[in-house]
Amino acid sequence: MDQDASEQIDWWGMLTDPGYLVDPHPHLRRIRELGPIHYDAPSDIYFVLGHEEFNSMVRSSRMGRDTRLWKNGWSRPESKQRDPLSYELFSEFQRQMVNSDQPDHRRMRDVYEKAFRPADIPPLRPMIEREACLLLEDIPEETPVDFMTVFANLFPLRVVRNLFHISPEMDPQLAEWNASLIKIGDIMMSQDQKQDALKALKGYKRFLKSHLEDQRGNPDNRLISLAIEAWDAGVMDQDETLNNLKGLVSGNETTVNVLGNGLLTLLNHPDQFDRLRTQPDLMRTAIEEILRFEPAINFILRVAIEDFESHGVSIPSGSLVLGLVGAINRDPARFAKAETFDVARRPNAQSIFGGGPHVCIGAALARLEVEVAFSELIRNFSKIELAGEPVWWTDRTNQRGLQTLPLRFSRR
Ligand code: HEM
C-alpha cells in the first residue's frame, strides 16, 4: 500500500462526485495503479481495488458482514445516543443473512438456499419469458421510449413478485418501497432519507407478515412455505423471517441496473452487439462480460472480525473494508485486455456477486433474467438505437445504474 498516495485521495469527495458516478473507471484505473489496497485515515476505511486481494478477503472467516462489529459504525450500541434515527433504522434491518456472521448467517441462508440452487432456477424460465414478452410487446416501434421505464424497472420486479405469489396490484407499492430502501446501501444518507427508509422498511415488513398468513397452506408457494416452516420450527424468529424475505423480494433492484448498463454497453460496442446477434450461443459469456465490464454496484463491504493481513497490509479487527467492484473487475493482473469489452471472454472471474459464504443467493436467477431479456430483445427487434443521452443516477453512491436510457426500436 502506498500510504502517501492514499493520503492524497479525497475518497468521500470522489465516491460521491457526479462525474465519478457517471464514469468511475478513469479514477479507479489511476488509483489501482498506486496499489491494490488503500487506507483512508479520515474515515478509517480500507478500500480494495485488486482482484486477488478482494477474493481472498471475501472468502476468509476473519472477514464478516455484521456492521455492528465496525468500530465506527451506526449500528453499534454506542451510536444510539449519538444518532438515534440511524440506530433505529439499522436495528430494524440488521437481523438478516446478509448482515450476519456465522453461525447465524448459515442458519438463515440454509432456509432459503434450497430454492435458489442452480437446478431450481431453469424451471422458472417459462414464467420469466412470459413476463419479458408481455413488456416487449407493448414497446412502440420507431418512437423514442425510455428503456428503464418501459422494461428494466418493471421486469425483475414482476419476476420476483410471481416467485412469492404477490398480487400484481402491489407492483407500484413494492417499487416505491424499493426506491426508499435502495438508499440504505449508500455511504451517505440524509436524515429525511433515513426516515423514509425506516417507514418503507416497516411498511414492507407489515405487508410481508400479512402475506405470510394469507399464503400459509399454499404448497405451490415454495419460498413462503420455506419461511413459514422455519419460523414455526423456531429456526428463525419473526423479525429474521420478515427481514430475510424483504431482502429476497427487493434483491431484484440490482438486476434493473444490469439490464440498463448491459444494453447501453452493447450499443456502445456495435461490433460486439452484432457478434452476439449472429452468434446467440455467446449469450452466457456476454452476460458475464456485461457483469464484469459495467457492474451494477460500486462496492461490496466486509468488516474485519479479527485482525487480517492482506498482501502486506494489516487490517485491524473492527475495520470496515469496501471492495470497489469496478476496479476489481478490470484488474489487469486477473483479466487480459481488461479494458476491452469482449462478449466471448473466457475465463471471466468477475466479482459482481461477491464471494465466499455471502455470495449472492439470487445469482442464478439474476443471470437467467438477464439472459431471457437480452435473448428476447434480439429476437423481437432487428434494430435498437440510442434516441437521446442516457442519464446515470448520480445520487446513489452504491448502485451503479441508469435513470433513463432513451431508445428507438425497430421490430423484425
Ligand atoms: C444482477 C443482479 C444482482 C447482483 C449484482 C447482486 C449482488 C449481490 C452482492 C454483491 C451480494 C453480497 C455478496 C457478498 O457480500 O459477498 C448479494 C447478496 C445477496 N443477494 Fe444479490 N444480487 C443480484 C440479484 C439478486 C436477486 C435477484 C436476489 C433475490 C432473489 C438477490 C438476493 C440476495 C441476498 C438475499 C443476498 C444475501 C446473501 C447472503 O448474505 O448470504 N440478489 N447480492
In a domain, 34, yes or no: no
Average pLDDT, the chain: 95
Q: Could you tell me if 358 and 99 are in contact, meaning their C-beta atoms sit under 8 angstroms apart?
A: no
Q: Which residues pair with 407 in a beta bridge?
A: 145, 386
- Residues 334 and 292: their CA atoms lie apart, in Å, by 12
pLDDT classification of 3: cutoffs 50, 70, 90 = very low
In a domain, 75, yes or no: yes
Question: Quick check: 122 pLDDT over 90?
Answer: yes
In a domain, 9, yes or no: no
Q: What pLDDT, on a 0 to 100 scale, did the predictor assign at position 72?
A: 83
- Ligand 1: atom nearest CA of 99 is 40
Q: What pLDDT, on a 0 to 100 scale, did the predictor assign at position 251?
A: 85
- CATH of residue 84's domain is 1.10.630.10
As a whole number, mean pLDDT of residues 335-359 equals: 98
In a domain, 211, yes or no: yes
Give residue-wise pLDDT tens across range 291-344: 999 999 999 999 999 999 998 999 999 999 999 999 999 999 999 999 999 999
- Residues 101 and 86: their CA atoms lie apart, in Å, by 21
CA of 255 to the centre of ligand 1 (A): 10
Q: Could you tell me if 184 and 195 are in contact, meaning their C-beta atoms sit under 8 angstroms apart?
A: no
Question: Quick check: 1 pLDDT over 90?
Answer: no
Most ligand 1 atoms within 8 A of CB, residue of 178, 360, 368 to mutate: 360
Give residue-wise pLDDT tens across range 370-395: 999 999 999 999 999 999 999 999 99
In a domain, 20, yes or no: no
Q: What pLDDT, on a 0 to 100 scale, did the predictor assign at position 372?
A: 98
As a whole number, mean pLDDT of residues 132-144 equals: 96
Q: What pLDDT, on a 0 to 100 scale, did the predictor assign at position 2?
A: 47
Question: Quick check: 64 pLDDT over 80?
Answer: yes
Nearest CA to ligand 1 atom 20: 360
> Which residues sit with their C-beta closer than 6 Å to ligand 1?
58, 65, 97-98, 109, 247-248, 251-252, 254-255, 258, 296-297, 300, 352-356, 358-362, 365-366
Nearest CA to ligand 1 atom 9: 353
- What angle separates helix 363-380 from helix 283-293, to the nearest 10 degrees? 110
Q: What pLDDT, on a 0 to 100 scale, did the predictor assign at position 189?
A: 87
Q: Which domain holds residue 146?
A: 68-292+356-411
CA of 352 to the centre of ligand 1 (A): 9
Nearest CA to ligand 1 atom 41: 358
Give residue-wise pLDDT tens across range 69-112: 999 887 888 888 888 999 999 999 999 999 999 999 999 999 99
Q: What secondary structure letter does DSSP report for 364? A: H
Bridge pairing between strands 45-48 and 320-324: parallel
- Ligand 1: atom nearest CA of 370 is 1
Please state the domain count of the chain.
1
Q: Which three cell numbers stand for residue 105?
A: 448467517
Question: Quick check: 230 pLDDT over 80?
Answer: yes
Cα four-point dihedral sign 399, 359, 294, 259: negative
CA of 361 to the centre of ligand 1 (A): 6
In the chain, pLDDT over 70 holds for what percent of residues? 98
Torsion, Cα of 102, 106, 108, 113 (10° steps): 150
In a domain, 3, yes or no: no
List the strands of the sheet with 299-304, edge to edge. 37-40, 45-48, 320-324, 299-304, 63-64
Question: Quick check: 252 pLDDT over 90?
Answer: no
In a domain, 19, yes or no: no
Give residue-wise pLDDT tens across range 199-215: 999 999 999 999 999 99
Question: Quick check: 6 pLDDT over 80?
Answer: no
Cα four-point dihedral sign 357, 358, 362, 366: negative
CA of 2 to the centre of ligand 1 (A): 32
Q: Is 41 helix (H, G, I), strand (E, B) or coil?
A: coil
DSSP sequence for 78-94: THHHH-HHHHHHHHHHH
Q: How many residues does the chain have?
A: 412
Nearest CA to ligand 1 atom 30: 362
Q: How far is CA 61 from CA 132, 193, 231, in A?
A: 40, 33, 27
Range from 5-14, 155-164, 275-284 carrying the lowest mean pLDDT: 5-14
Q: What pLDDT, on a 0 to 100 scale, did the predictor assign at position 76?
A: 82
Question: Quick check: 363 pLDDT over 80?
Answer: yes
Q: What pLDDT, on a 0 to 100 scale, did the predictor assign at position 7?
A: 52
Nearest C-alpha neighbor of 204 from the set 241, 164, 177, 175: 177
Residues 6 or more apart in contact with residue 68 via CB below 8 angstroms: 75, 76, 77, 94
In a domain, 139, yes or no: yes
Q: Which three cell numbers stand for residue 95?
A: 437481523
Q: What pLDDT, on a 0 to 100 scale, did the predictor assign at position 118?
A: 83
